[in-house]
Structure 1
Amino acid sequence: MDDSQSIDLAAMLCSRLCHDMLSPVGALNNGLELLAMEDDPEMRRNVMALLEQSATTSTNKLKFFRLAFGAAGGFGERVDVHEPKALINALVADKQKVEVNWAIDAANLAKPAVKVLLNFAQIAMDALVRGGTLDIGAEVRDGNCEIVVRAAGPKIGFDDNIGRALDGSLAREELSSRTAAAHMIRLLAEQSGGGLQYARTDETLVLGAILPEGEGLIG
């Protein structure tokens, strides 16, 4: 990937982050304005509760994107599985009618695998537009990390361009902030010697990856 492609990808990932942060940060701003105008004690307690919720949501999203998109310098080359599990569970807590199930047998995963896992989970959560179940599994065997994330619900909302970004058929000029994360993890998988795949129906979306356990070249 040349410098101009790297800059474009970074810009689109920043746009995605800003888009996701706009709602909770905006709620903080609105809450502070209400707090400045409100004198009723009960209303002020309600506003404070909303401010606390918005602050927690903002913190959870920033922690998630730090590891899913960024270099995550606070972590080593391997990451304890409790970190991505906690980040995903925190985001699921803000989703209505979404239940997450875990099947990870490793104590830790290489950082590239964690990035793929987190981004798969984000894509799958976004697909559960009417709620459902989110099954997340990872297994290390024979020198590879195998990751599977399955979303199942009454309606799957999945942008075909995200699928094309995952399989590499999306043209560079078609990339957007919505597809940038999928494009990033495809590059990550390719440069680490692995690959991604996906399958979808009206009620299920399955995302899979096989990544060698060696160090990746991104992140």
Structure 2
Amino acid sequence: MAPQNSYHIAKLLSSRLCHDLVTPIGAINTGLELFQENMANLSKDSREIMDLIRHSAEAAAARLSFFRMAFGTSGDQVSFGEARALIETYFARSKISLHWETPFLEDLMLKKWGRLLLNATLWLSECAPKGGEIHFIIPDETSLFLSLHLVTNSIVLHQGTLEALEGKALLTELTPRTVPCYLIHSLVEELKGKLEIRQSGLPTELLLEIKGKEEAHSY
């Protein structure tokens, strides 16, 4: 099977998986909302258990929505505003704080760039298991430039991720952890762009930059 066909099938499978799981998880959230109406009659321990279940269900729904756009067929057409909302919901209860540079064009949609933003954020967050800050500079109508700057107490570069980002990893060597990095590389290639990753003089800062060609500036 040709690599491009395999990629398309993988996107369809991701979309199907996320779509089929979102509905039952959404039903769990709805059921918990109904339970909340009678929370006053529950014991303290029962309320804590219900809160734990509710938070877990909300986190699962946020992850599925994020993954559906990051890996599925819908992600090519996601606007920066939609991508930002998905990212903020995904990391709402995490140790990662998000900082968006202004101006930020909520409605701007550049084909494949929203998916790039989602996957780049996911990778950088995994480089900071103890938490940290991610600072974003998003493309606008005049400049195809995406920058994510991670500041953390400790950077962890997992085995194979840099090779996948640079397109040096064999398909047979990819793992669940490195395949999003390979997807970033593939998207940058499709956009005829340039990916640069560098660690600053401080070992606690990591920068990912993607520059696109103006002829790839499609809405």
What is the TM-score with the length of structure 1 in the denominator?
Answer: 0.75
- Bigger strand fraction: 1
- List structure 1 segments (4+ residues) > 6 angstroms apart after TM superposition: none
Contact 1:112 1:188 in 2 (8 A): yes
1:149-169 deviation per Cα after TM superposition (whole angstroms, max 9, x unaligned):
111111011224111111111
Structure 2 distance, partners of 1:206, 1:54, is 31
Most deviating of 206-215 and 188-197? 206-215
Contact 1:197 1:209 in 2 (8 A): yes
Q: What is the match of residue 116 of structure 1?
A: 116
What is the aligned-residue RMSD (CA, Å)? Answer: 3.2
Structure 2 distance, partners of 1:207, 1:7, is 24
Structure 2 distance, partners of 1:159, 1:45, is 39
Structure 2 distance, partners of 1:83, 1:188, is 19
Could you tell me how far 1:173 is from its partner in structure 2?
2.1
Structure 1 distance, partners of 2:50, 2:144, is 44
- Aligned AA (2:110): A
Equivalent residue of 1:47, what SS? helix
Q: What are structure 1's unaligned runs of at least 5 residues?
A: 33-39
Q: What is the match of residue 51 of structure 1?
A: 53
Q: What is the match of residue 6 of structure 2?
A: 6
Q: Provide closer, same or farther for how the CA distance between residues 5 and 205 of structure 1 changes in structure 2, counting only shifts above 3 A.
A: farther
Higher RCO by CA contacts (8 Å cutoff, separation 6 or greater) = 1
1:74-112 deviation per Cα after TM superposition (whole angstroms, max 9, x unaligned):
xx8462x2211111112222212x221102533413140
Q: What are structure 2's unaligned runs of at least 5 residues?
A: 33-41
Identity of aligned residues (%): 25
Could you tell me how far 1:213 is from its partner in structure 2?
1.6
Taking the TM superposition and a 5 Å limit, the aligned residue runs for 1:186-197 are 186-197=185-196
Contact 1:68 1:115 in 2 (8 A): yes
Could you tell me how far 1:199 is from its partner in structure 2?
1.2
Contact 2:130 2:154 in 1 (8 A): yes
1:140-193 deviation per Cα after TM superposition (whole angstroms, max 9, x unaligned):
355x52101111111011224111111111122211111111111211211222
Structure 1 distance, partners of 2:8, 2:179, is 9
Q: What is the match of residue 94 of structure 2?
A: 95
Contact 2:78 2:115 in 1 (8 A): no
Structure 2 distance, partners of 1:176, 1:134, is 25
Equivalent residue of 2:211, what SS? strand
Q: Provide closer, same or farther for how the CA distance between residues 66 and 154 of structure 1 changes in structure 2, counting only shifts above 3 A.
A: same
